[in-house]
Structure 1
Amino acid sequence: MMKDCLQILIEPAKKLKIRLKESRKRVKLEKKEPLLESQLFIMELARELNRICQRSNILGHIWTSEDIWPASVCRDFIVEWAAVLEKRVQPRIILSEYQQEKPEKKDWKGHLLCMLEAGGECDMGPHKRVIMDWTREIKSRPQPTVWPGEPVLMMLDDLEFQWKRGRLPNLLPAMELVMLAVMNADSLVKEDVTKQWLVRKQRSQNIDTVRYIPHSVWNWICDAAEEVTLDSDSAHPDLLISSDHKRMRCGLKHREVPRCQRRFDGWWCAVGQEGYASGRHYWEVEVGERDWRLGVAKASGVRQGFRPLTTARGYLTLRLERGADLKALTVPATPLSQSLVPRKVGVYLDYEQGQLSFYDVEKRSHLYTYNEKFTEELYPVFGTVESVKDLAIRPGGVRQRCLCPGTCLWN
């Protein structure tokens, strides 16, 4: 009997050991595959930036082949940062001899074949030239090294720790942060690079590589926490609002309420009592499991009837339907992965930057960002059709425990 019991424990352990061996073997085989030119270029760029940026060796994981990005990610990175450098640093892009040829002299058939075989490697030359010239120019200075600052170093440590834990697919965010720090050293007007990184990443909507929000940046977002309360005069007649104006759910009976222009009479929604026309603001909401909507409504947004509450109607919202259909209500709607469905949502408004962002508070990860130039007052908006679980506004701004190893300067 005892032998049978032990066998139950031994078998899963054996299977796990086999899976781990297979996984290690697969990783070794993948690393032996020949790297494309763009991947090799990223590795060399990481080596150069590692030399330039003082007291941070995180990019060593890239140039020593511990972190190899997919070729498509490498190409996107090169094109994007070449455009940034051309605009902010270089007077003009230096075209290769191949691009300076007249179109009629190009071997279009051979060019197309090259692109199909190498995934667009032929088009990388001019963009690589811009980045290479930038790094050469930095190294030619009397003091080529750059001190990125303590906040940047702490953020790099955080990113490295999360990468090692498997919470980051690659170290692309760290590479971008170092690029920004080096560029900031050249700028006449110094900026807070960690905040600049957040604004930039949210503007690009490249959420696959930046879902995780570093500890220092998350606490900066939380510093903008607001005391948000529901405006009962705006609530749909079927909604029940708690006495503290922090919770709401659908009631079983239709209430008789005074009719007014600011009340929702179609969708089961309500807005916050205070509107925002400047500054940074953050609030958190515990949401239902089946249906909810969150975001902001412009002062001009129509609240009567069942018109779609989309960007075309003055609403910037995230919506969950049927417990799995998560989407941003753009025109047309932007579907988001079912794996992203949160239980507690953080909403962050940066009026001057023109950004409204949504986060999964429990995972401390980015969901979606609206980018728009705001010109009118914005009101927090909340919606639910659930009659059992409340949609609840929770106190925001609680600084999260640091996930960095050892002593953290942010606590």
Structure 2
Amino acid sequence: MMKDCLQFLIEPAKKLKIRLKESRKRVRHEKKEAPVESQLFIMELARELNKICQRSGVLGHIWTGEDIWPASVCRDFMVEWAAVLEERVQSRISPYDYQYEKPEKKDWKGHLLCMLEAGGEADMGPYKRIIMDWTWGIKSRPQPTVWPGEPVLMMLDDLEFQWKRGRLANLLPAVELVMLAVLNADSPVKEDVTKQWLVRRQRCQKTDAARYIPHSVWNWICDAAEDVTLDLGSANPDLLISSDQKRMRCGLEHRVAPRSPRRFDGWWCAVAQEGYTSGRHYWEVEVGERDWRLGVAKASAARRGFRSLNADTGYLSLRLERGADLKALTVPATLLTKSAVPRKVGVYLDYEQGQLSFYDVERRSHLYTFNEKFSEELYPVFGTVEVVKDLVIRPPNVRHPCLCPGPCLWN
């Protein structure tokens, strides 16, 4: 019997040891695999940009090859920035310069083999040419060094620190920040690069837009904090609203209230007293664990009945269903990552930029952004079906503690 028990313990240990060995071999093999052409191109670009911004060493990790991005992300990066550069410097570079260098004349078999070895990257040639012409143009100037500014360097340090901690998938946001800083140095009208970076990143949902928000940018978002209160006249009669109009949850009994086009009589929702037609606005909400919705409702959006509350009906919102399914209510709905169900949600509206963004306050990370040209008044909207835990609108002067190790570098 004892022998059987020992065998029972030893066999899984043997299998685990074998699997660990295989895993280590696989990791060593993967590390030795050469980066594809698009990845090498981005690494080379990062090296050139790092030379330009000599007072920040954040991109040195890319030069050493420690940070390798998927080829699809590299391709998206090249296409987007080639379009930006083409628009900014079109007057200085002739269209002829955009032509991709044709391969040397080979027999058809050799040419086909060359294309196969390139891994389908030949179509990226024009975009690479635009970007490299731009970097070579900067390097050829008498004074190539560009001082990006203290806020940009603080953001770069923040991004690198979070990348080392594993909170940032890669250093692509840092490369984009440096490119914006260099472009801004060329521009006759100077802009705040850190804010411009946030707007650009949040316009792209496909490349992990801006999961981590640097501290200086987060402070700028929080500076737009508003004192938001619930509108009792809009609340579903079944909702229990606190006396300060900052808390709400579902009651256990159905209640009757005067009918009004302002009032939700189907979904368990309410809007805020305040509506916005311009400017930047930010509010934070402590949410439940099972079901909630947050966002804005357009002034023209219908509130009665159980019609879908999505982008087509005038509602830009996030919803948590069954405690696990976090989704942006686009058409069709966009399912967000299940590993980031927040407990405190920040909602940020930039009316002029046409952006409504959602953040996980505790992780200080981006969840989703609606991009739309706003043309009517927008009201913060809140919804819950929980009967135990309140949905709470947090005071505007409350901020999540800084994540800096030791004394904060930015306060």
- The normalised TM-score by structure 1 is 0.88
The C-alpha deviation readout for 1:45-71, integer Å capped at 9, x for no partner, is 111111101310111100111212222
Quick one: distance in 1 between partners of 2:172 and 2:195?
A: 17
Question: What pairs with 1:3-402 in structure 2 (closer than 5 Å)?
Answer: 26-91=26-91, 93=95, 94-96=97-99, 118-206=118-206, 208=208, 210-402=210-402
Are the counterparts in 1 of residues 100 and 125 from structure 2 also a CA contact under 8 Å? Answer: no
Quick one: distance in 1 between partners of 2:113 and 2:327?
A: 38
The C-alpha deviation readout for 1:122-171, integer Å capped at 9, x for no partner, is 11111111011101111111211100000000000000000110111110
Quick one: distance in 2 between partners of 1:98 and 1:57?
A: 32
Amino acid of the residue matched to residue 231 of structure 1? D
Deviation at 1:16, TM superposition (A): 12
Change (3 A) 1:109 1:338: farther
Q: Which moved more, 1:35-44 or 1:390-399?
A: 390-399
Change (3 A) 1:302 1:65: same
1:9 counterpart residue number: none
The C-alpha deviation readout for 1:179-226, integer Å capped at 9, x for no partner, is 000000000111100000000000112452521111111111111000
Q: Which moved more, 1:356-365 or 1:90-99?
A: 90-99
Are the counterparts in 1 of residues 299 and 379 from structure 2 also a CA contact under 8 Å? Answer: yes
Deviation at 1:403, TM superposition (A): 3.2
Count of equivalent residues:
391
Change (3 A) 1:17 1:410: farther
Secondary structure at the aligned position of 1:349 is classed as strand
Quick one: distance in 2 between partners of 1:405 and 1:125?
A: 43
Secondary structure at the aligned position of 1:176 is classed as helix
Change (3 A) 1:208 1:16: farther
Quick one: distance in 1 between partners of 2:272 and 2:278?
A: 16
Quick one: distance in 1 between partners of 2:116 and 2:369?
A: 33
Q: CA RMSD in A?
A: 2.7
Quick one: distance in 2 between partners of 1:170 and 1:19?
A: 28
Change (3 A) 1:95 1:296: same
Name the % identity: 82
Amino acid of the residue matched to residue 67 of structure 1? D
Are the counterparts in 1 of residues 73 and 207 from structure 2 also a CA contact under 8 Å? Answer: no
Change (3 A) 1:157 1:20: farther
Deviation at 1:256, TM superposition (A): 2.3
Structure 2: segments with no counterpart, 5+ residues: 1-14
Deviation at 1:72, TM superposition (A): 2.0
Are the counterparts in 2 of residues 177 and 197 from structure 1 also a CA contact under 8 Å? Answer: yes
Quick one: distance in 2 between partners of 1:67 and 1:202?
A: 22
Deviation at 1:283, TM superposition (A): 0.5
Amino acid of the residue matched to residue 270 of structure 2? A
Change (3 A) 1:207 1:108: same
Secondary structure at the aligned position of 2:208 is classed as helix
Secondary structure at the aligned position of 2:387 is classed as coil
Deviation at 1:409, TM superposition (A): 4.2
Quick one: distance in 2 between partners of 1:37 and 1:159?
A: 25
Secondary structure at the aligned position of 2:379 is classed as strand
Change (3 A) 1:367 1:26: same
Quick one: distance in 2 between partners of 1:239 and 1:187?
A: 53
Quick one: distance in 2 between partners of 1:63 and 1:176?
A: 15
Q: Which moved more, 1:21-30 or 1:72-81?
A: 21-30
Are the counterparts in 2 of residues 207 and 366 from structure 1 also a CA contact under 8 Å? Answer: no
Secondary structure at the aligned position of 2:358 is classed as strand
Secondary structure at the aligned position of 1:162 is classed as helix
Q: Which moved more, 1:22-31 or 1:280-289?
A: 22-31
Are the counterparts in 1 of residues 285 and 391 from structure 2 also a CA contact under 8 Å? Answer: yes
Are the counterparts in 2 of residues 205 and 368 from structure 1 also a CA contact under 8 Å? Answer: yes
Secondary structure at the aligned position of 2:67 is classed as coil
Change (3 A) 1:298 1:113: farther
Deviation at 1:87, TM superposition (A): 1.1
Secondary structure at the aligned position of 2:410 is classed as coil
The C-alpha deviation readout for 1:269-319, integer Å capped at 9, x for no partner, is 000010011111101111111111100000000001111111111110111
Deviation at 1:37, TM superposition (A): 1.7
Quick one: distance in 2 between partners of 1:164 and 1:18?
A: 30
Secondary structure at the aligned position of 2:203 is classed as helix
Amino acid of the residue matched to residue 326 of structure 1? L
Deviation at 1:395, TM superposition (A): 1.7
Change (3 A) 1:341 1:409: closer
Quick one: distance in 2 between partners of 1:112 and 1:372?
A: 44
Quick one: distance in 2 between partners of 1:231 and 1:359?
A: 24
The C-alpha deviation readout for 1:1-52, integer Å capped at 9, x for no partner, is xxxxxxxxxxxxxx99999998776554323112222121111111111110
Change (3 A) 1:257 1:347: same
Quick one: distance in 2 between partners of 1:225 and 1:108?
A: 64
